[in-house]
Amino acid sequence: MIPAPFEYQRADSVEQAIEVLSANEDAKILAGGHSLLPLMRLRLARPSLLVDISRVRDLSYVREDGDAVAIGALTTHHEVANSDALQSLCPIVPFAASEVGDPQVRHVGTIGGSVAHADPASDLQPVLLALGAEMVVRGPGGAVRTVPAAAFFRGLFEPDLAPNEILTEIRVPKLAGRGWSYIKFHRRAQDWAMVAVAAVAGSNGSPAARTRPPRRPGRTRGRVRPRTRSRAPSTAGSSRRCSCAGRSRRRWPDSRCRSLTTGPIPV
């Protein structure tokens, strides 16, 4: 479908974008566009003005900051999925980012746009809630506030953002050896999740207890019996199937999906 008529303006800084938003109540921020534009095509969103911040490069980064990893709101899903810092310090985030849409979507869509959209079917929302992530929000007059993920997502498509505020940063804690898992159910690989679950195990600073996947029952003459032996995991090659990926064909290198004591936990 064709969206309703709208005007377009490009902002060169966060301050300019906030100024434009303050002067236009019906204005919306445009970053990658993969969350907002589909709603506009369905006319579920009808902004009178789009404020394009896609070229504000100050909001595209991934960096270690104390006991957390800071992610700029304009960092694309592809950059999040391939960040060495996140893969090492908080691997559940790049894993979930790699599940977003398809390569075209991941190269254009941004983490900030997805989070600010507050769609419960998105891949990152349950992960950020499980991590207890924090959102950094900037408003008029240089005001800055930090909002926990549990308070930021107030409802369906309802983030804790005023019309003249912009989400500028997402802060996720370092997992420090804690177990984690993210699983979603969808009809096709690039679809939105019908059901998604994210979990983080173990207390901060201590490794999660070792867990093993349940054994699948075998069948003998129509009756179910437990398996009496199991094969040792193969160590050949540089990659193995991620224990939290279910039936997915994705293969993750050992550096991104570590042993069950410090990496994914089966759920």
> Which token pair is 257?
């999906």
Pick the more confident residue, 176 or 110.
110
Neighbour-count burial of 117, counting CB atoms closer than 10 A to its CB (0-12 exposed, 13-18 middle, 19+ buried): middle
Tell whether 110 is covered by a domain.
yes
What pTM does this model have? Answer: 0.76
Tell whether 154 is covered by a domain.
yes
CB half-sphere exposure, 46, CA atoms < 13 A:
6
Tell me the average pLDDT of the chain. Answer: 81
Distance CA 86, CA 78 (A): 12
Pick the more confident residue, 44 or 132.
132
Tell whether 62 is covered by a domain.
yes
Tell whether 51 is covered by a domain.
yes
How confident is the model over 9-59, as pLDDT tens digits?
999 999 999 999 999 989 999 999 888 998 899 998 999 999 999 999 899
How confident is the model over 148-162, as pLDDT tens digits?
999 999 999 899 999
Neighbour-count burial of 23, counting CB atoms closer than 10 A to its CB (0-12 exposed, 13-18 middle, 19+ buried): exposed
pLDDT at 152 (0 to 100): 98
Tell whether 30 is covered by a domain.
yes
**CATH no. for residue 15?**
3.30.465.10
Domain limits at 118? 7-173
Distance CA 42, CA 21 (A): 23
Distance CA 109, CA 227 (A): 45
pLDDT at 186 (0 to 100): 79
Of 83, 76, 267, 79, which is closest to residue 184 (Cα–Cα)? Answer: 267
Q: For the chain, how many structural domains are there in total?
A: 1
> Which token pair is 5?
């008529």
Pick the more confident residue, 225 or 17.
17
pLDDT at 35 (0 to 100): 85
Tell whether 210 is covered by a domain.
no
Tell whether 112 is covered by a domain.
yes
pLDDT at 118 (0 to 100): 93
Rg (CA), the chain: 21
At residue 152's C-alpha, the angle toward residues 146 and 153, to 5°, is 165
Tell whether 234 is covered by a domain.
no
How confident is the model over 60-105, as pLDDT tens digits?
999 999 999 999 999 999 999 999 999 999 999 999 999 998 899 9
The DSSP letter of residue 140 is G
